[in-house]
Amino acid sequence: MEPVAFVISHNSQRRFSHSAMPDAPVVDDGRSPEALAKRRQPVQNLRQSMAQTLRRAADRVEPTCVTA
C-alpha cells in the first residue's frame, strides 16, 4: 500500500512537468488578441530598455577589442 500523499504529489508533479511539453493542450482563456497585445506593450518596452541597459553594462565591464 502506498500512502495517499505520495500518490497525489507524484501525480501533480507529473502533470506539472508534462504541461511544459510542446504538445501540451492549449486552453483558450477567452481574452481577445487586442487585449493581449495591450498587456504585452509595457512588458515589451521594459524588456527592450533592460536589454539596452545590460548591453551598456557589459560593454563597460568587457569592452570589445577592435583590431586595426
User: Please, are residues 19 and 26 in contact by the beta-carbon 8 Å criterion?
Assistant: no
Mean pLDDT in residue range 56-65: 86
- Helix, strand, coil content of the chain in percent (nearest 5): 65, 0, 35
Q: Which residue has the cell 557589459?
A: 58
Q: Which range is least confidently modeled, 6-15, 25-34, 46-55, 56-65?
A: 25-34
Note the pLDDT tens digit of each residue in 34-55. Answer: 877 777 777 788 889 999 999 9
| Cα gap 9→17, rounded to integer Å | 12
Model pLDDT, residue 68:
59
**Integer distance in angstroms from the first to the last C-alpha of the chain?**
74
